[in-house]
Structure 1
Amino acid sequence: MSTAAGTVVFAPDSFKGSIGAADAASALSAGWASVRPDDRVVLRPVADGGEGTLDAFAAAVAGATRMRVSVTGPDGTRTDASWLRLPPTEEAPAGTGVVELASTSGIELLGDQRLPWDADTTGFGQAIAAALDAGVSRLVLGIGSSASTDGGTGLLRALGATLTDRDSRPIGRGARGLSALMHADLTALQPPPTGGVIVLSDVTNPLLGPLGAATVFGPQKGFTPDDIAAVEDGLGRLAGLLPADPRTPGAGAAGGSGLALLAWGAQLVPGAGAVAELVGLRDALAAASVVVTGEGSFDRQSAAGKAPAHVAEVAGSLGVRIALAAGRIAANADLSAFAAAVSLIDISGSLDAARTEPARWLREAGAVLARSCG
């Protein structure tokens, strides 16, 4: 029997490579409303610093404005992107700039190709520079979904650094350029904004070693096992020239961009928790009876810093029931925190169907969850 109308918060992450967090929240809420039209729905899409971070802020923060910018993509060609300007606050009287690596230097921009040696973070740095030129008081940077392992050299140069070889010539792009790096002059770097720089990341890897950027993330960028030692050596060269500790948790994030941003004076924080705080998730959940979260693939690792796990943690602390929609739910996934869970593969019949029409199947998932725990 249907319960009385209540408030339902939709707080999914993006379904990577398929649908963004904001569109996923809209689709889930439409499906829920088709079953329970009297419920009040609140959209609070979330992210962990990767793809969908910009959309999450745009959907949750009233008055957020997209600022268009043309940047150099990870393959060296021009690409249209944007950063987000959030309205002024007491902490940031001239507004906050949100810049996402995924949409400026991200791996999704390469399609099916991989450019392990040459992809870089120039575009990310150019978008950061655009936000600084616009006069924001604070920066929030999402650094997930990187295409490169350049140690953040592209972004540093876009902000004014000079990186040269033994003959004082500029080094090349990407990881390839690191092998020739001998000098790093940071004196012309644009200063961080007065309100500081918060870097959102979902990983805590150091720069170097068996848990470092090259070893752990290099293969997904396209490096072969034989390449890793050379990339590690290049990152080590960079670490010896920058005023940051390569052992810092998160220094290895985004192919070493974490180290570059630490050297610039940024603060690295867990992405999921910071995004949730900045978009007001806890306040939204305080009046809710149910929260619906989700992501593309939910498995045992989803409990380690991913956005849905953080949503579940906050909801649990407030006594709010939690429902999950995921593209795929692995057999080893712990679903004990959820009142109901549904997989798009199960309701669509196949992985291809779920990926081809994610909004359709998320609407269906929303309806299924409304019947289960509405």
Structure 2
Amino acid sequence: MVRVVVASDKFKGSLTSAQVAAAVAAGVRRVHPGATVVAVPVADGGDGTLAAAAAAGYTLVPVVASGPTGLPVQSGYARCGDTAVVELADVCGLVRLPGVLAPMTASSFGVGELIGAAVDAGCTRVILGIGGSASTDGGMGMVRALGRLEELRARLDGVQVVVACDVDNPLTGPRGAAAVYGPQKGASPSEVAVLDDRLTEWADQVAALTGQDLRDAPGAGAAGGVGFAALALLGAELRPGIELMLELVGFREQLTGADLVITGEGALDEQTLHGKAVAGIAAAAADVPVVAVCGANELDPARLTAVGVRAAYALTDLEPDVARCIAEPIPLLEKLAERIAIEHLTMAETGEGSA
């Protein structure tokens, strides 16, 4: 019997990872009605991380916390045993600012509140996804929510913090949090300079307080400097987001007996090649063939093959109108899944091996 593992990230602004998996499963089963299709929703540490944890069996714990502008929002963390998953994007990320951005005032305070709530509830391991942040505060808000240094250290004593981080930028300078990511959060050139000065001052204060200077550590500039604060003050370990999330959702355990892995994300582009979900899943799939579905594909076959993806199928292959692809993706995605089943699973169904 054919066994397919669908491990896709979301199609941002269009489909959740669970919706992608459901549409792919429907298309595959039209061609192979008896197929076993296992959905493993994934994320890379940005928005969708909580949903992926919930799909993996974690329990969502609701918490009211501060959004990026300080207004309360309904958020929470996901828990399994003594492990908590916290998603920065859900509480104080750009998704919480659908209208006007707040580059100079947005804060990471809310993510500190969520970490504190999880730790106070008895969690001793915190997995922190920091993609999609709205702030460039160096993680100062997060730290302030957890307390002064002595209180913070006591509160986090015995707690392991692991950060899902996919960038290697330092905190300050031309490759720092403000210069590289400030503009996409709404900062003008003059505001970028002010933000970088603030981050420099904050790094000086932390170095004086702790006796070590981590502003140039790879990943310190992640999430507007939350990576820096996590390293310097929470004692965190930074790991590639997709690698960490695949462990969390038990991806490798689902590969036994699989004939094909279908992965995906909204767009296959240059970012895909540098630690995003599709490349990470292909690397983790071992000897199981991998194909990808997406909204649009900007990568040629050679570049996809280089990261372990045999073929890519885009919604725009069927419908050139991008707006329609975003608005009505499910029928298109089901058709792509039918094509994948015909082209990659026919021999597996007859017992002759995968195409």
TM score, norm. by length of structure 1: 0.85
State the 1:372 CA deviation: 2.3
Amino acid at match of 1:216: V
Amino acid at match of 2:124: S
Q: 2:187 aligns with which of 223, 245, 250?
A: 223
Query: Does residue 69 of structure 1 match 2:63?
Result: yes
Q: Once the two structures are superposed, what CA deviation does each residue of 1:307-339 show, in whole Å capped at 9, x if it has no partner?
A: 110111122xx2211110011101557222333
Name the CA distance, whole Å, in 2 between partners of 1:275 and 1:157: 27
State the 1:305 CA deviation: 0.8
Query: Does residue 187 of structure 1 match 2:155?
Result: no
State the 1:18 CA deviation: 2.5
Superposed counterparts of 1:119-138, under 5 Å: 119-138=106-125
Q: In 2, are the aligned partners of 1:132 and 1:193 still within 8 Å (CA)? A: no
Amino acid at match of 2:244: A
State the 1:194 CA deviation: 2.4
Name the CA distance, whole Å, in 2 between partners of 1:23 and 1:208: 39
Q: 2:20 aligns with which of 5, 12, 24?
A: 24
State the 1:220 CA deviation: 0.2
SS at match of 1:276: helix
State the 1:79 CA deviation: 1.2
The residue that corresponds to 1:45 in the other structure is 41
Structure 2: give runs of 5+ residues left out of the alignment.
346-355
Name the CA distance, whole Å, in 2 between partners of 1:137 and 1:297: 36
**Residues 96, 331 of structure 1: alpha-carbon distance in 2 compared, 3 angstrom cutoff:** closer
The residue that corresponds to 1:306 in the other structure is 276
The residue that corresponds to 2:349 in the other structure is none
The residue that corresponds to 2:296 in the other structure is 328
The count of residues paired between Structure 1 and Structure 2 equals 335
State the 1:157 CA deviation: 1.2
TM score, norm. by length of structure 2: 0.89
Structure 1: give runs of 5+ residues left out of the alignment.
89-94, 162-185
Name the CA distance, whole Å, in 1 between partners of 2:127 and 2:324: 35
Structure with the larger helix share: 2
- When the two chains are superposed, the root-mean-square deviation of aligned CA atoms in Å is 1.7
Name the CA distance, whole Å, in 2 between partners of 1:331 and 1:279: 27
State the 1:195 CA deviation: 4.5
**Residues 105, 282 of structure 1: alpha-carbon distance in 2 compared, 3 angstrom cutoff:** same
Superposed counterparts of 1:1-374, under 5 Å: 5-60=1-56, 62=57, 64-86=58-80, 88=81, 95-161=82-148, 186-189=149-152, 191-192=155-156, 194-242=158-206, 243=210, 244-262=213-231, 263-315=233-285, 318-331=286-299, 334-336=303-305, 337-374=308-345
State the 1:21 CA deviation: 2.0
Q: In 1, are the aligned partners of 2:4 and 2:258 still within 8 Å (CA)? A: yes
Name the CA distance, whole Å, in 2 between partners of 1:128 and 1:360: 40
**Residues 7, 195 of structure 1: alpha-carbon distance in 2 compared, 3 angstrom cutoff:** farther
The residue that corresponds to 2:353 in the other structure is none
Q: Once the two structures are superposed, what CA deviation does each residue of 1:219-273 show, in whole Å capped at 9, x if it has no partner?
A: 1001112222211110001111223501111110000000111121111111111
Q: In 2, are the aligned partners of 1:285 and 1:320 still within 8 Å (CA)? A: yes
State the 1:42 CA deviation: 1.2
Q: In 1, are the aligned partners of 2:139 and 2:224 still within 8 Å (CA)? A: yes
Name the CA distance, whole Å, in 1 between partners of 2:331 and 2:118: 36
SS at match of 1:51: coil
State the percentage of identical aligned residues.
43
